[in-house]
Structure 1
Amino acid sequence: MAQQTLETRGRFSKASAISWLWRRLSHWPLARLWRFASALGPLVYRFNQRERHITDINIGVVYPRLSPRERKALAQDSLRHSTATMLELGHAWMAAPETVDAGILAVHGRDKLDSARAEGRGVIVLAPHFGNWEVLNFWLSSHFPFTAMYEPPKITALDPVIRHGRERMGASLVPTNPRGVAALLKALKRSEAIGILPDQEPSWGSGVFAPFFGRDAYTATLLPKLVARTQARVVTGVALRIPGKGFEIHLLDADERVYSSDDVLSATGVNASVETAIGLAPAQYQWEYKRYRKVVQAQQKLANHRDYRLY
């Protein structure tokens, strides 16, 4: 019991420190946050071996034609942008709404959402881990009825802070379970917008293997089920960082294969849509995520060879 009490106090202490830091950083201008990220990024690349290792491997898999020097430069730039995203959380969640809105320099493709809603159709926004997806959430929930799935953080004491930040402009957060899926369906049938993370590996049984930059990646199959039952339009949404200045929202037409009733073909379209978004600025994608982890696990089981690892 005493050990549990100490652990709980430790979590609250850590959560309080993180929340305090976000609050302080929320008062910084974006230019200053970017300068700070530019200073910290090289240190993250040098000393955070896990993040560097995964980023280096993913970039090597996705861009095999780059020279070692080019791959290293891209990996360093990627971790600089990932650092910026973490520093900007206070900006997206806690800064005055007019301040966040002023940092959104342009919106490209809003007509895709407006026309779909005018036709009585809901919109599914594929929001990959690119640029600053929390700024994208801010913009979407500021302009449209918006619902997204939400999984509480590992540091449970941060849950109310994160939830308030994501919901403050009107977003509705629903759990990552059948009840949450039902809420997404209802929102689409009301011609509203919903958000889906297209590049997060689902649990076994909730996805299929589909190519992502030419290599199979385990991809969720929720999308074709939602499309089949609602006839929703699918777009890819990102908040592209303009370093030191702000963000540009891009809403891109999804690959047509996302509308297929075949799970593998739809998942292939989802991954192709993410690839197109990454093409806007490859360094702004979160390459430190183990996107190919489950295909490696499947290969290990198939080969019964425990020493084979991609990461």
Structure 2
Amino acid sequence: MKRSFKATAIHGLWRLLSGWRLATLWRLAGIASRVLYAVSRRERHVSRRNLEVAFPDATQADRRQRVRQSLHHSAATMLELGFAWIGAPRRVDEAIIEVHGRELLDDARAENRGVIVLAPHFGNWEVLNFWLSSHFPFTAMYEPPKIADLDPVIRHGRERMGAELVPTNPRGVAALLKALKRAEAIGILPDQEPNWGSGVFADFFGRQAYTATLLPKLVARTQARVVTGVARRLPGGRGFAIHFLAADERVYASDETISATGVNACVEAAIGLDPVQYQWEYKRWKKTPEEEQNVPGYRRFRLYRKH
């Protein structure tokens, strides 16, 4: 009952906000992020620790400002979910003001090659999904939410422009392979930490991060082209700019560690477009090589342990 009520309330909020102007949502996100910064030690601490790794030469004041700005963008993404999933398609389409690098996708399809879009948690990735599924046959993996009653809402929102969602299991991987062999586009989240046994440690901003190895398996079996895709939020909630960036050449390596290093380099390049639009509150360096190797006392190496 509680989950059903919560799902109804969240859906109602998304529906309410779906008709609001992006500029208004951006201002509301500013208020929400200030509250989040004040009361949520976890988000504040994790974001700060991640930024210390990624930008070691930044001053404490600069890093503190980036934490605030990053939380502002993360709050905006949450408030924009109704806009991306429920809002009138015409409004979402009109909010996409710029598209850069589309030729990378068009050229691959002209060569009858599939396209793997690496979509990190940057800007508003739901807007990126909207654009991709509006312009190309597009398949992406999907894991149902913890609140099961929200599943049909989210699924409909992501599929409404033609995307096909597949499960995060071997059946889903098989569906991705079939889509690539049909010279279609698929989406992969490159910056989520996989379960043990599904990744390797590879450099990410100079520190080893446990990184999924699905990409080299897909490339080896399909000869697909890889690009990085993001929807960058324009200042003041003015709209979005879609960017497609050519992948680091290492992603095509057969060696999984080299390929994973290339994937992380792609994420770094995307972050370089506007670092504060990345979701820094995610524990990207939670797993450690010492933990994998069962090094005695490995807990002392953990980045996110509070002192």
Residue aligning to 1:274: 267
> CA offsets per residue over residues 50-83 of structure 1, 9 Å max, x none?
1111101101111111111000000000000000
Q: Please, what TM-score do these two structures have when normalized by structure 1?
A: 0.95
List alignment gaps of at least 5 residues for structure 1: 1-8
List alignment gaps of at least 5 residues for structure 2: none
Give the deviation of 1:296 after TM superposition.
Answer: 6.9
Give the deviation of 1:300 after TM superposition.
Answer: 8.7
Spell out the pairing of 1:2-13 with structure 2 (5 A cutoff).
9-13=1-5
> The residue matched to 1:301 in structure 2 has which SS?
coil
Residue aligning to 1:68: 60
Query: Partners of 2:172 and 2:266 in 1: how far apart?
Result: 24
Percent identical pairs in the alignment equals 69
Q: Does 1:256 align with 2:246?
A: no
Spell out the pairing of 1:42-191 with structure 2 (5 A cutoff).
42-191=34-183
- Give the partner amino acid of 1:215: R
Query: Are the equivalent residues in 2 in contact too, given 1:296–1:309 (CA < 8 A)?
Result: no
Query: Partners of 1:305 and 1:88 in 2: how far apart?
Result: 40
Residue aligning to 1:207: 199
- Give the partner amino acid of 2:265: A
> The residue matched to 1:293 in structure 2 has which SS?
coil
- Stretches of 4+ aligned residues off by more than 2 angstroms: 303-309
Query: Partners of 2:282 and 2:40 in 1: how far apart?
Result: 14
Query: Are the equivalent residues in 1 in contact too, given 2:201–2:289 (CA < 8 A)?
Result: no
Given the superposition, is the C-alpha separation of residues 261 and 138 from structure 1 closer, same or farther in structure 2, using an over 3 Å criterion?
same
- Give the partner amino acid of 1:259: Y
Q: CA RMSD in A?
A: 1.2
Query: Are the equivalent residues in 2 in contact too, given 1:300–1:306 (CA < 8 A)?
Result: no
Give the deviation of 1:41 after TM superposition.
Answer: 1.2
Number of residue-to-residue matches in the alignment: 303
Query: Partners of 2:8 and 2:289 in 1: how far apart?
Result: 37
Query: Are the equivalent residues in 2 in contact too, given 1:103–1:246 (CA < 8 A)?
Result: yes
> The residue matched to 2:203 in structure 1 has which SS?
strand
Q: Please, what TM-score do these two structures have when normalized by structure 2?
A: 0.97
Give the deviation of 1:301 after TM superposition.
Answer: 3.1
Query: Partners of 1:41 and 1:201 in 2: how far apart?
Result: 25
Q: 2:219 aligns with which of 221, 227, 243?
A: 227
Q: Does 1:298 align with 2:291?
A: yes
Query: Partners of 1:70 and 1:24 in 2: how far apart?
Result: 35
> The residue matched to 1:203 in structure 2 has which SS?
coil
